[in-house]
A and B are shown apart, each in its own frame.
Chain A
Amino acid sequence: MRRQIPFGLVFIFGIFMVFQFFVPHEKSEWVYEFLLDWIIVIGIFALALGIWSLFKVSVEKIKQGKEGGNYSYITLVGLYMMMAFGFTQQTGDGWGLYFLWIMLCSACIVSLMRLRASTDSGKKRMWALASGGLLVAAVLVAIFDDAWAFFLYTPEGLENSMFEIFFDHIMMPILATMFSLLAFYIASAAYRAFRARNVLASLLLLAALLVMSRFNPFIPGAEYVANASNWLMNVPNLAAQRAIVIGIGLGIVGTALKIILGIERGYMGRG
C-alpha cells in the first residue's frame, strides 16, 4: 500500500498532464497551475528539511574533526545571520545594540553546534548552559532595544543595509570568482582535448582553430576563415546537435511513459 498509493497518484496526475497539453481551456489551465503551486508549497517544506540536513552534516564534520571542519562554523553562522538580517531593520537612525545582538546570536549558534558535537557529558552541560545563557541575552537585547525591530511579514528586512552589504559585497564577488575560474578550466580542458593524437583528434584541433579564429580580423584571409567556421557551426555542428535533441526528446517521452505506466520505479527506491 505504501507504494501503490504513490504509483496511483503518479498515474493519475501524469495522465492529466499529458491531456492538459492538448486542452487549452481555462478550467484545465486552472488545475495545471494549481498543481504547479503545490511544487512551491512542497519546496518550502523541503527547504526546512534541507537546512536541518546541512546543520547535521556540519555538526558531524566538527564532531569527527574532519579536515576543513571549522568551515562549518562559517557556513552555519553565515546562514543564520543572513536570515536574521533579512527579518530585521533599524527603526531610527542608529543601530543601538544590534551588533551586540548579532554577536550573541552567532555565539549561540556556535555553542549549539559544539553542544551537538560534544560526546563528553560534562562538556555537553557546559555548552548547554552557554547556549541557554546566550539565547536569553539575545532575547533580552531584542526586547529592550528599540533602535531596530523584527519585520516577519513585510519586506523591510530586505532593505537592511547589513543584508545588502553582505550580499552585494561579499556573496556576489565570491560567486563571480567561482564563475571566472571557468575561463581557466576551459583553457586546461581545451589543451587536453585538442592534442593531435590521431586523425580524428587532429580534425577536432583543426576545426577548433578555425572556430577560435572566427572573430580575429588580423589573421590573413579573415573573411574565408569566418565563412569556414560559420559553415562548421551552422551545418555539421547543428546537424549533430539536432540529432542529439531528437534522441533526447524521444528519451524524455519514453521515460515519462515508463514512469506514468509504472514500468520505471527506480525513482521510488525500487531499482
Chain B
Amino acid sequence: MKHRFLIVGLLLLFGLSSVWAQTEPPEADSMVVDSTELFPAAVSDVQVVDKPNDHGHAVIVTWETSADDGGGKNNVLRYEIFYSTSFDGPFDSVGAVPAGTGEFRHIGSKEPLDSAFVPDYTDLFYQIDAVTADPTIRTTSDVLGPVQCSGQWFNTGRIPVLVAVLIFGLLTAFFVLSAKRGKKLYVRPIGGIEAVDDAIGRATEMGRPILYVLGLGSAADVATIASFTILGRVAKRVAEYQTELIVPTYDPIVMSVAQEVVKSSYFDAGRPEDYKEDCVHFVTQSQFAYVAAVNGIMLRELPATCVYMGKFFAESLLLAETGSLAGSIQISGTDEIAQIPFFIVACDYTLIGEELYAASAYLGREPKLLGSLKAQDFAKAAFVVLAIVGLLAANFEWSEFTTLFQVID
C-alpha cells in the first residue's frame, strides 16, 4: 500500500515537473539569431505618378519587386506602402499588397475630414517596406517623391465611348431629318405592340378593367420612362373606349408622373371628365407587399388585360402567373435579362429588351421617333460587323484593332 502511494506520488511529481519544464521560458542566449541575415533586399525602381483620368486624391505607386521575392532568400511575404506629406515623415501606412505584386493604387478620400483624405496639389512622399513572415524583419525603400495628385477635366480612357455616342447621335439626327423630309421608313412589326389595341378592345367588350404595372423602377430609369410613353398611348385608347384603367405604383415619384401622363391622355382623347386621379395610385415601396397588393387587385377586379412594362425583378413571375390565373390577356416588356424568360413563359406577348424602347415609337408612328429606331438598327448592324472583325482580329492577334475599343476606367 505504501509503495502504491510512493509510485503515485513520484508520477505526480514527474508530471508536474514536466509541465513546469514546458512552461519555463527557454534560456535567452540560446534564441539569439543574427536576424540581419534574414532582412530581404529592398524594392527597386520605384515610381510614383498621379492616377490619370480621375477626380484627384489618388496616386499610383509602381516598383520592381525585391530580389528576395520569388528568388534569393525567398522570404518576402508582402509589401507595405507608407505615405507622408513631408520628406522627413512621419509616414502612415496606406495599405499592403502580397508578394509578387509591383503596383499599388493609393485611392484617397476627397473629404478633408476623412482619415483617408489625400490632398491635391500637395507634395506627397512614399516608402515601401518588403516584409517577411516576422513583421519586425523588413527592409524599407528610400523615400520617393514628391508627387502631386490632381483631378482631370477629360477622361481619355472613355474616348471610344464618346466616339460611339457621337456616331450614334449623328445617325439618329440623319434618320430623324430623313423621316421629317417624308422618307418612308420600314419598321418590322412587333407582335406585343400590335396586340395592345386588341387587348383594350377585349377589355371594353368584357366590361372589365385594364391593369397597367410600371414595375419597380424609379422615374430615373430609362425603362420606366419608356413605360410612361406606352402608358400614355394605352390611356388614350382606354379613354376613347371608355374602359377602366388601374395603375398601382411602387414609387411615389413614378405615381406623380404617371398621373400626369394619364390625365394628359384623357385630355388628348377629348374625355377629361372621365379621368379619375385615383386610377393611378401608390401602394407601397416594399417589393413583396407590392406584389401582394397587385395580386389582390388582379384576383378581385379580374382585369381583362394586364400590361407589365418597365423594370421587374423577382416579382415578375408572381405577377404574371397570378394574371394568368385571373384569365387576363398579358403583355409584358422589360430590359431585365433575368426576368425576360419568366415573362415569355407566363405572358401572351413579351417585348424583349430593346423592343420596350421601340414600342413608343411604334405605337405613335411619328416619323421623328421612327427615325431613331432606324438609327438603332444601323448601329446594331455595325455592332455585328465589328464583332465579326473583332473575332478575326483576336484570332490573328491584331491587337491594334482590339485595343481600339478598350474602355479604361
Contact = CB atoms under 8 A, between A and B. Distances in A.
A43 B218 CA distance: 10
A182 interface: yes
B150 to A, nearest CB: 9
> On chain A, which size bracket covers the interface?
35 or more
B225 A267 contact: yes
Interface string B332-376: 000101001010111000001110111010011000110011011
Interface residues of B, number: 87
A24 B232 contact: no
Contact of A46 (B56, B253, B383): B253
A96 interface: no
B321 A189 contact: yes
Contact of A50 (B169, B263, B264, B282): B282
A252 B372 contact: no
A244 B340 contact: yes
B317 A186 contact: yes
B300 interface: yes
A25 B57 CA distance: 11
B286 interface: yes
Interface string A116-128: 0000000000000
Contacts of B342: 189
B379 A23 contact: no
Given A26-B55, A26-B110, A252 B335 contact: yes
Interface string A164-207: 00000000001100110110011011101100000000000000
A269 B53 contact: no
Interface string A1-45: 000000000000000001001111111110000000001001100
Given A47-B252, A266-B232, A269-B263, A175 B282 contact: no
Most buried by A among B228, B236, B300, B354: B354
A138 to B, nearest CB: 25
B284 to A, nearest CB: 8
Interface in A224-258: 241, 244-248, 250-258
Nearest to A246: B383
Most buried by B among A18, A66, A254, A263: A254
Interface stretch (A51-59, A85-93, A147-155, A214-222): A51-59
A9 to B, nearest CB: 14
A43 B153 contact: no
Given A53-B282, A251-B376, 11 more contacts: A21-B161, A66-B300, A179-B288, A189-B342, A244-B340, A252-B357, A253-B168, A254-B376, A263-B372, A266-B229, A271-B229
Top 4 nearest A-B pairs by Cβ distance?
A269-B264, A266-B229, A50-B252, A50-B282
